[in-house]
Amino acid sequence: MDLSGRTALVTGSTQGIGLAIAVGLARAGARVAINGRTAERVDSAIAQVRGEVPEAELVSAVGDVTDEAGTERLVAALPEVDVLVNNLGIFGPQPAMEISDEDWRRYFEVNVLSAVRLTRAYLPGMMRRGWGRVQYIASDSAVVIPAEMIHYGMSKTALLAASRGFAKEASGTGVTVNSVIAGPTHTGGVEQFVTDMVGTDLPWDEAQRKFMREHRPQSLLERLIEPEEIANMVVYLASPLASATTGAAARVDGGYVDAILP
């Protein structure tokens, strides 16, 4: 899985799954642009990636891609990429009847429109050059809508639709567009979510098992997925080895989605 000579941009890559993806792509030889809202967080993430991959070629891509102005500044600083990983996303539990119009809009703006906007910016160049990879980090929540955060589930379902649609736009050009359905994954944000759901009086391993047993019983893995396991799929889809995989929703969900196809 050699990505030498390729430039990759991973949005929201200062922590969690995004940071793990950046490490994985750097290990595969890609020049990786680390994205976050502040220079301090981006610099910290660059140091972490370099600690894992000392020879990594890394680029600071500071910018808030949830609005047009921030996206335009980022694209001006990084006008061409070969691999775009739309990882940025927010989540959080909220009773269905208490989700306001503003909340609905915010989840769509951050989780969906930021990815669509960057795809519009970078996909044409990939198509002209005859090679490229666009990926959307979706979620099992796109298929199994969680009752405690249907606005999040809606946004991830929309990413599956956007991914399939842009794959059709790139048909026959040598560019692939795919989404990755990530299952319940062990990140800092999820640790807090698990604690909120099962309480603070349990050791982490026990709390994790209780959460999976009570709130995600469909999982065949019966544990949270590690970010590196999501990154492995992303790196494969970004590589030349995945040249015939496009328009797909690749599952790294620990068997959570109870279906043969997503």
The 10s digit of each residue's pLDDT in 29-45 is 999 999 999 999 999 99
Question: Judging by DSSP bridges, how do beta strands 83-86 and 249-252 pair with one another?
Answer: unpaired
| Cα dist from 130 to 170, 175, 188, whole Å | 10, 7, 38
Choose the catalytic residue: 136, 152, 236, 256: 152
Q: Average per-residue pLDDT in the chain?
A: 95
Under DSSP, the state recorded for 199 is -
Q: Which residues pair with 62 in a beta bridge?
A: 36
- Residue 126: name the closest of 172, 162, 189 by CA: 172
CATH architecture of 7-184+230-246: 3-Layer(aba) Sandwich (3.40)
Q: How far apart are CA 239 and CA 159, in angstroms?
A: 21
Residue that the structure tokens 């098992």 belong to: 209
- Which pair of tokens denotes residue 221? 């893995």
In DSSP notation, 24-91 reads HHHHTT-EEEEEESSHHHHHHHHHHHHHH-TT-EEEEEE--TTSHHHHHHHHHHS---SEEEE-----
pLDDT tens column, 246-259? 999 999 999 999 98
pLDDT tens column, 216-234? 898 999 889 999 999 999 9
- The answer to whether the beta carbons of residues 144 and 257 sit under 8 Å apart is yes
Question: Judging by DSSP bridges, how do beta strands 83-86 and 132-139 pair with one another?
Answer: parallel
Which range among 4-18, 123-137, 203-217 shows the weakest confidence by mean pLDDT? 203-217
- The answer to whether the beta carbons of residues 177 and 163 sit under 8 Å apart is yes
- Which pair of tokens denotes residue 173? 């050009």
In the structure, what pLDDT confidence band is assigned to residue 262 with cuts at 50, 70 and 90? low
The residue-averaged pLDDT of 170-180 equals 98
Sequence spans of domains, the chain: 7-184+230-246, 186-224
- Which pair of tokens denotes residue 45? 């993430």
- The answer to whether the beta carbons of residues 179 and 89 sit under 8 Å apart is no
The residue-averaged pLDDT of 232-251 equals 98
- What strands, in cross-sheet order, belong to the sheet with 31-36? 57-62, 31-36, 7-10, 83-86, 132-139, 175-182, 249-252
Q: How far apart are CA 146 and CA 130, in angstroms?
A: 39
- The answer to whether the beta carbons of residues 238 and 135 sit under 8 Å apart is yes
pLDDT tens column, 112-165? 999 999 999 999 999 999 999 999 999 999 999 999 999 999 999 999 999 999
Q: What is the pTM of this model?
A: 0.94
Q: How many CB atoms lie within 10 A of CB 251?
A: 21
Residue 152 falls in the annotated catalytic set = yes
In the structure, what pLDDT confidence band is assigned to residue 261 with cuts at 50, 70 and 90? confident
Which range among 13-17, 151-155, 197-201, 212-216 shows the weakest confidence by mean pLDDT? 197-201
